[in-house]
Structure 1
Amino acid sequence: MKHTIAGTTMPVLQIGLDPGEVIIAEPGEFSWMSDNMQLNTTTQTGGARGFFGAIGRALSGGGLFMTEYSPQGGPGLIAFAAKVPGTIQQVDVPAGHSYMIHKHGFLCATQGVNLSIGFQRQLGAGIFGGNGFVMQKLAGPCTAFVELGGEAVVYDLRPGESIQVHPGHIGMFQDSVNFDIVFMRGIKNALFGADGLFIARLTGPGKVWLQSMTVPNLAHALSPYLGGEQAVATAPQIGGAAIAGGILGDIFGQR
């Protein structure tokens, strides 16, 4: 397998495959491909063992089905374009290791990839629109490609070193990094500081990839141009009362 990543703001991943080589992605994710590329859409790939394994992958943000792409009769080409402005990161995952990636970060991978739920927690409708915070576990052995929004900033944390991050800006981190969700310090900061009630704390050792742009923030930036009542609100623009109301709504089951 040979690949190139072309472009800057909206990069494109182009992968050259020889017969017998396979790339796995969610259905409909490819942008273009050579005429000899054969598709096989199935639930039994991407690490899924049985139907419930596929369900678990779907709950983590992946698809219930996955598509295998393989050239027939000679070398082939397949390309995947970024869905939002950002970067495409190559991740080599050895056996016995894994990465946590954001819910919509998986682009494609070679055979051996295993996608599952890595972390899931409800953080209130006022912060994530009722969807909670979900991360995928990307395990191998495989070579995978992950899409991050905006610019990617990488920190190599020393043992015991921590960094606090708004959850939406977490793109990916190694399995050696400890991850936890903590309350924002100070009740006034949490309710009226416009940064939300919760914050993520990542503790080393290990590498952390942060993304400068989140899809909700992009939607908010575009909302003034999409028409009045269709505007999308994101956490930084929601007042303390709305956040508290979202949390209470989750607690008492009122959506």
Structure 2
Amino acid sequence: MNNHEIDYKIYGDDMQFVEVELDPRETVVAEAGALMMMEDGISMETIFGDGSSQGSGLMGKLFNAGKRMLTGESLFMTTFTNDGSGKKHVSFASPYPGKIIPMDLSEYDGKVVCQKDAFLAAAKGVSVGIELQRKLGTGFFGGEGFIMQKLEGDGMAFVHAGGTIHEKTLQPGEVLRVDTGCLVAMTRDVDYSIEMVKGVKTALFGGEGLFFATLRGPGAVWIQSLPFSRLASRVFAAIPQSKDEGSIAKGLFNLFDGD
């Protein structure tokens, strides 16, 4: 095993957090700002990238960290290491209502591709990189953009998504069409493409957008019932837009948008 072996427990229902149990010298890597709480004896360190290539030299670290900028993430991540003699616990919270999905990458052939803001935390050694969509149409109209995240390794990783999460296993040749924003993650063998909605009336007045994602098996896919972008747009649309209230609406929208 190249990755640290960590134990975990997920708490909550709609606003979940994951508690990771660290043995002495074990380390977990998380997105900046994901920390909820940690016990005494755990040390924090800010690093470039995900820490999976610490022996690659300065330029290698800078390159790996720079790739994260393409997904809209921070250049830096945070490691949490148990420096004590006994077991210690550190917890990470989901940033909005939804579910945390634990993934043992060794069960998925060492790689999972996910939407660019889904990653929450992982055992040290898991590589958090970028996955470029090879098809031009997928890149322009895929809802999640031309770039997605890829998680590689043989350890535990945790991703989060909105609403209820449904995991579906596709058989070879089996096709599933989903709203582009509802796709959370998929395994390496799933073929992902974008198709335009057929019919002018359906495309213009259906209210579901002009494009949907077509997933072709074999492989596993994870679907979310409430993409955060959909939640934020509905909240913003429901806020009165009068002159006096406009600043309040803008402030709330910026709050949801992470600004």
**TM-score tier after normalising by the smaller chain length:** 0.7 to 0.9
Pair 1:66-2:84 in alignment: no
- The answer to whether the 8 Å contact 2:190/2:215 transfers is yes
Shift of 1:193: 2.3
Pair 1:36-2:36 in alignment: no
Shift of 1:42: 1.1
- 1:237 alignment counterpart: none
**Which of 81, 88, 93 is residue 81 of structure 1 equivalent to?**
93
Shift of 1:225: 5.4
Pair 1:138-2:151 in alignment: yes
Q: What SS does structure 2 have at the residue aligned with 1:189?
A: helix
Work out the CA distance in 1 between the residues paired with 2:173 and 2:180. 20
Work out the CA distance in 2 between the residues paired with 1:157 and 1:98. 17
- 2:140 alignment counterpart: 122
User: C-alpha offsets along residues 91-148 of structure 1, whole Å, 9 cap, x if unaligned?
Assistant: 1112963111112111100022111111352339xxx6xx835421111122101112
Work out the CA distance in 2 between the residues paired with 1:183 and 1:221. 24
Work out the CA distance in 2 between the residues paired with 1:209 and 1:44. 25
Pair 1:220-2:221 in alignment: no
Taking only the aligned residue pairs, the percentage that are identical comes to 35
Q: What SS does structure 1 have at the residue aligned with 2:141?
A: coil
Work out the CA distance in 2 between the residues paired with 1:7 and 1:133. 33
Runs of 4+ off more than 6 Å: none
- The answer to whether the 8 Å contact 1:22/1:69 transfers is yes
Please, which moves more after superposition, 219-228 or 20-29?
A: 219-228
Work out the CA distance in 2 between the residues paired with 1:61 and 1:46. 18
Work out the CA distance in 1 between the residues paired with 2:51 and 2:74. 10
The one-letter code matched in structure 2 to 1:152 is I
- The answer to whether the 8 Å contact 1:46/1:115 transfers is no
Shift of 1:227: 4.1
TM-score by length of 1: 0.81
For structure 1, list consecutive stretches of 5 or more residues without a partner in the other structure: 234-255
Work out the CA distance in 2 between the residues paired with 1:91 and 1:186. 38
- 1:4 alignment counterpart: 9
Q: How many residues align?
A: 228
Pair 1:209-2:222 in alignment: yes
Work out the CA distance in 1 between the residues paired with 2:163 and 2:94. 11
- The answer to whether the 8 Å contact 2:31/2:121 transfers is yes
- 1:52 alignment counterpart: 63
Work out the CA distance in 1 between the residues paired with 2:113 and 2:203. 26
The one-letter code matched in structure 2 to 1:39 is M
Shift of 1:44: 4.8
Pair 1:25-2:30 in alignment: yes
Please, which moves more after superposition, 44-53 or 17-26?
A: 44-53
Distance 1:222 1:35, change over 3 A: same
The one-letter code matched in structure 1 to 2:79 is E
For structure 2, list consecutive stretches of 5 or more residues without a partner in the other structure: 1-5, 54-59, 134-138, 254-259
The one-letter code matched in structure 2 to 1:207 is A
Work out the CA distance in 2 between the residues paired with 1:136 and 1:92. 16
TM-score by length of 2: 0.80
Work out the CA distance in 2 between the residues paired with 1:47 and 1:112. 5
CA RMSD of aligned residues (A): 2.4
User: C-alpha offsets along residues 42-77 of structure 1, whole Å, 9 cap, x if unaligned?
Assistant: 115344533122111231243311111102223321
- 1:148 alignment counterpart: 161
Q: What SS does structure 2 have at the residue aligned with 1:154?
A: strand
The one-letter code matched in structure 2 to 1:28 is G
